[in-house]
Amino acid sequence: MSARSGIKPSELYTAARIADALVYAVGIAGVVAGALLFQEGYPGFTLVAWALTFGVGAGLRLIAWSAKGVAQLLERTEALVEELGGLQRRLASAERSSPPPQVDPDRDPYRRWGGHH
């Protein structure tokens, strides 16, 4: 990874794994809280607890998917940058090794190379 980028793909994958783990933790907490509220005779609060934990879990799942996607984009971008750098180096070495083409000004009908004016 280049020194310019602050976030590494491995860090994003780690964040995605943590978010995935939190999804399950939030789900279990929601089920337990809902069950306890239901046993105490609060069906309204039970539905609210389940809805909130479902929303939080869904949000965490989206964050995990987004983090994985950004990590994959960073990896692919880095690979493309390295490939373009290699192509640029090969092109520069090929230009240095071959002499510049000789242009006959009389054969250039548009006088692009400084022919007779």
Residue 2 has pLDDT above 60, yes or no: no
| Per-residue pLDDT tens digits for 54-96 | 999 999 999 999 999 999 999 999 999 999 999 999 888 877 7
Question: What is the reported pTM?
Answer: 0.65
Report the alpha-carbon distance of residue 76 to residue 2 in Å, rounded.
13
Report the alpha-carbon distance of residue 68 to residue 11 in Å, rounded.
10
Q: How far is CA 51 from the centre of its chain?
A: 30
* In the chain, where the domains are located: 9-97
Which tokens go with 114? 């400084």
Which tokens go with 83? 């490939």
